[in-house]
Amino acid sequence: MVAEEVAEASPVVHYHASDIELISTERVLPHSGSLKAPLNNQKAEDEKNYVEVTMEIEGGSIALHSVKTVAGDEKVGLIGKKLEKKASFGANAMQNATIRMKQLKRLASFSKPVKRYDRNKAAATHALTGLKFISKTGDSGAGWAEVEKEFNKLTASTDGYLSRDLFAQCIGMNKGFDAFAEKLFDTLARQRGIQGGSINKVQLRDFWDNISDQSFDSRLKTFFDMVDKDADGRITEEEIKEIICLSATANKLSNIQKQAEEYAALIMEELDPDETGFINIDNLETLLLHGPDQTTRGDSKYLSQMLSQKLTPTFAENPIRRWYRDTKYFLQDNWRRVWVLALWIGVMFGLFAYKFVQYRRKAAYEVMGHCVCMAKGAAETLKLNMALILLPVCRNTITWLRNKTKLGVAVPFDDNLNFHKVIAVAIAIGVGIHGIYHLTCDFPRLLHASNEKYKLMKPFFGDKPSNYWHYVISWEGVTGIIMVLLMAIAFTLANPRLRRGQNNLPKSLKKLTGFNAFWYSHHLLVIVYALLVVHGIKLYLTKEWYKRTTWMYLAIPITIYGLERLVRALRSSTKSVKILKVAVYPGNVLALNMSKPQGFTYKSGQYMFVNCAAVSPFEWHPFSITSAPDDDYLSVHIKIVGDWTRNLKTKFSQACRAPLNGQSGLLRAECKGDNSPSSNLPKVMVDGPYGAPAQDYTQYEVVLLVGLGIGATPMISILKDMVNNFKAMEEDEWDTIEEGGSPLSSTHQKKARFNDFKTRRAYFYWVTREQSSFDWFKGVMNEVAEEDQRGVIELHSYCTSVYEEGDARSALIAMLQSINHAKNGVDIVSGTRVMSHFAKPDWRSVYKRIALNHPDSQVGVFYCGPAALTKQLRQFALDFSHNTSTKFDFHKENF
């Protein structure tokens, strides 16, 4: 065919054809008629010039016939617009027409019309709200007041002009996004012809209105211009590479930055299949809006709306009803804790009252009054609590009770350390009451008692002393004061902030804090117990041995605790392990794979203690087991956060060789047989396993597993265990079918295993701050994704350093992620088969979806990580349990 092209020097390009679809660098506008194309790159003074281009398009080739100017009185019928005359056209028109040849050749190769992406599709609906340049929501006016205030502050000494390097701070972008903000500043300035690298308040308001514009087209144009740095209306591969590097830097994705060239080529391959060397704004729009259609079933949508209404906070007008409702919910959620605490408090009050009344009837009351009653009542509670405080840390006993008995139904074993801390508080209160009443009331009253009254005390205290220090330097006084001092040291260094080194103390004092200080100071309590026995024997007012009951309280708990420590020492010395593999991953995580000691059986979710004599012969530190019970090895992943872990990493770093090409981790030592390099590695001993909340996941048909950072360790073991169990169940089913029997013909061992394993659906959420953290469990995530043939395990990984989906700072990363996963099946952020999400999860939506998917079910929620998220996850579990038919049981492990 023969087509005529009429071009007008304009920044907007349109193509029209009769039987082919022509795509411009700006928009797709199919029409019937001749081919017209206004040319780009004209100067302002040439905006009214027109040229007629005659060419022949046949198959995939284009032949240019002629290019000539058009008289002013001539008209082009298809656009119904009068063309203005110009006597001399110049060389620019011919040059621009030549530039179009390559593009038109590509356009002629299309046989079917390419329509713009339908913005009414479900996938596009969400995307149209994205591509935001600022995190603030609402209209631009709401945020402008803050921006204006910051502008006035920053420009107080610059005559009202804001420099380019302060733009990020002025509009509220966080630190680390300066490069992105400067790129945005350059784009907005270039669009408006502003030069000089600074703007005034009027121009800043114009910038702000642009970047906070809710129009998707406006945001798309700004983003396109950011990438199109030479403003020619086309994005080249080099420009894509540059913006990928910028986005990766802004989102702290170092791995993507290293592969920017490869990813830029991938985008060009996807959006520029004809190798024209550039893409246009329509390609970018299609990629941004494209996504799988999502249909929502009417019933599910209705249920979701009803659920949202139920979860809306309601306030009972009647305070009595409100109190009754809150009390009922509290007891339903905490009845196990309530009865244990109620029993403990009741026993303490009973003992206190018993001793108070007992001494109220003795002769000592005539001299010392109620002071002696208070001191002796507090002393009796101290005996009880000094005995009880040992039991929650008898880990072997608690693990045995958890695994072998049904006491876990009524006793909250997960709260053992919390109960240990509560008892410590009660001891501190008891010590305060006992000591204060003795030192400030009892002893002074004895000194000032009349000779007649003191005769009642002479059988107990001897002759009347002449000074106060007589009582202080006695056996009772010295042992009591030393105990108080040692307990004060141990209790103070057990404070979480001091134990974790999160304090602002001077450097000289900071050395006295940390885990080591906590560990060793707690062992001072051995001396405390010895002094407590002596203190109890040397009582002033009690002479009969059978009434000196301190040793009776302590005998059984100390015996149990002593046996615990003995078992630990014997077990760790006999259960020697051999280091099979060592790896140090980015993010300061040390992974140790060890041989499994004979008879070492454990459940997923449990933990064990690790000791390295080369670092410290006395320190044992707990770590979750990341291997599965069916694995023939033990593994732990250790976050380097303190002195002991830092020294452990140093010891293994010195003994290990660097990794070979293609191996993950920074260090690796693979040991085989006696000739392995393990002899050069530090010796490691293990003790365990010990029970933990996550081990009970098998009791729930549906589980929600949440791990923050290194808190994913117990969940990794659970995921592997679930995959192994599902595979074993499938193999058992096939064996049963082949043998022609029924499932009841399985062995007793298999029956017991499958009866204990109730889980049929799992949701795993791993949230981490750094991209490099995904290397820790990359192999496990891929294995679970591949082996989970039934699709019962739903994997979600979140990288919080990346801005949320819909933010312009992560828009290109999201596009690249979608393309690469569709093409290669690998996520560019995590490096696994699991598509990662950006920013933090919406936990409310997570609970809501599970409640909708599993009505009338009991869901086990298991969380491991810092305490900051505990309150939120627990509260959502309570809210959804109270307002839906789905009950969420929350369990947590904090570190």
The two three-digit tokens of residue 735, written as one number: 């064996």
Ranked by mean pLDDT, the top range of 290-299, 557-566, 832-841 is 557-566
Rounded Cα distance between 700 and 721, Å, is 14
In angstroms, the CA 731 to CA 703 distance is 24
At residue 292, the pLDDT reads 42
Q: pLDDT digit string (tens) for 288-314?
A: 665 444 333 334 444 455 455 455 555
Coil/strand/helix, residue 679: helix
Does the structure show a pLDDT above 60 at 6? no
- pLDDT value at residue 696: 87
Cis peptide before 689 (omega within 30 of 0): yes
3-state helix, strand, coil in the chain (%, to 5): 55, 15, 35
**Token couple for 654:** 């010195």
Tokens read off for 838:
């950006």
CB 220 within 8 A of CB 235: no
Q: Which residues share a beta bridge with 235?
A: 279
Q: How many CB atoms lie within 10 A of CB 206?
A: 15
**What average pLDDT does the segment 647-653 reach?**
87
- Between CA 372 and CA 133 the distance in angstroms is 71
529 pLDDT more than 90: yes
Nearest alpha-carbon partner for 726 in 752, 705, 747, 753:
753
Mean pLDDT across 457-471: 78
pLDDT confidence of residue 23: 34
Residue 826 three-state SS:
coil
> DSSP 3-state assignment of 222?
helix
User: How far is Cα 253 from Cα 828, in angstroms, rounded to an integer?
Assistant: 10
Q: Over the stretch 308-334, which tens digit does the pLDDT of each residue have?
A: 545 555 555 678 887 887 788 788 888
For the CA atoms of 465, 470, 474, 476, the dihedral, rounded to the nearest 10 degrees, stands at 80
Q: What is the structure's pLDDT at 179?
A: 76
Q: What is the mean pLDDT of residues 802-827?
A: 75
pLDDT the model gives residue 11: 37
Q: Which carries the bigger pLDDT value, residue 527 or residue 539?
A: 527
Structure tokens belonging to residue 392: 């929650």
d(CA 541, CA 544): 10
Q: pTM here?
A: 0.70
Are β-strands 162-163 and 198-199 bridged in parallel, bridged antiparallel, or unpaired?
Answer: antiparallel
- Which one has a higher pLDDT value, 26 or 173? 173
Decide if 155 contacts 167 (C-beta within 8 A).
no
Q: Is the pLDDT of residue 366 over 70?
A: yes
Q: Please tell me which of 153-167, 331-345, 809-823 the model is most confident about, judged by mean pLDDT.
A: 331-345
Best CA proximity match to 687, nearest among 521, 526, 579, 564: 564
Task: Find out whether 16 and 77 touch, Cβ atoms under 8 Å.
Answer: no
Phi, psi dihedral angles at 593 (to 5 degrees): -105, 125
Distance CA 357, CA 873 (A): 47
- Looking at 98-112, 196-210, 298-312, 482-496, which range is the least confident one? 98-112
User: Interior CA angle at 681 toward 678 and 686, to 5°?
Assistant: 90
Instruction: For 855-894, write each residue's pLDDT tens digit.
Output: 999 999 999 988 888 889 999 999 898 888 899 999 988 8
Which residue has better confidence, 234 or 637? Answer: 637
Give the DSSP letter of residue 408: G
Question: What pLDDT is recorded for position 890?
Answer: 92
Task: Give tens-digit pLDDT for 76-93.
Answer: 333 333 333 333 344 444
Query: Nearest-CA neighbor of 597 among 573, 613, 615, 620?
Result: 573
Nearest Cα residue to 382 out of 560, 496, 519, 535: 535
Q: Are 694 and 864 in contact (CB under 8 A)?
A: yes
What pLDDT is attached to residue 353? 94
Q: Which of 134-143, 565-574, 705-714 has the lowest mean pLDDT?
A: 134-143
Residue 138 clears pLDDT 60, i.e. is over it: no
Return d(Cα 681, Cα 677) in angstroms, integer: 7
For residue 483, name the pLDDT band (cuts at 50, 70, 90).
very high
pLDDT digit string, tens, across residues 660-694? 554 544 444 444 434 444 457 888 888 888 888 88
pLDDT of residue 421: 92
Average pLDDT over residues 811-822: 77
Encoded tokens for 827? 């996520």
Cα 187 to Cα 99: distance, rounded to the nearest angstrom: 25
DSSP string covering 505-539? --HHHHTT-SHHHHHHHHTTHHHHHHHHHHHHHT-
Provide the token pair at 159.
Answer: 């005559």
Instruction: Say what the pLDDT of residue 16 is.
Output: 36
Q: Identify the burial level of 564 via C-beta atoms within 10 angstroms of its C-beta, where 0-12 means exposed, 13-18 middle and 19 or more buried.
A: middle
pLDDT attached to residue 724: 86
The pLDDT assigned to 134 comes to: 61
Helix (H) or strand (E) holding 820: helix 808-824
Q: Is the pLDDT of residue 429 over 60?
A: yes
Average pLDDT score, the chain: 75
Entry field: residues in the chain: 895
Name residue 890's beta-bridge partners: 861
In this prediction, residue 55 has a pLDDT band, given cuts at 50, 70 and 90, of low
Model confidence band, residue 392 (pLDDT cutoffs 50, 70, 90): very high
Does pLDDT of 27 surpass 60?
no
- Asked if 579 and 594 count as a contact pair (C-beta separation under 8 A), the reply is yes
Find the Cα–Cα–Cα–Cα dihedral 388, 392, 394, 399, rounded to 10°: 140
**DSSP label at 128?**
T
Q: Residue 543 — very low, low, confident or very high, per pLDDT cuts 50/70/90?
A: confident
Say how far apart CA 533 and CA 525 lie, in whole Å: 12
Checking if the pLDDT of 626 tops 90, the result is yes
Number of neighbours of residue 803 by Cβ within 10 angstroms = 23
Residue 352's pLDDT is: 94
Is pLDDT of 414 > 70?
Answer: yes
Q: What is the pLDDT of residue 350?
A: 95
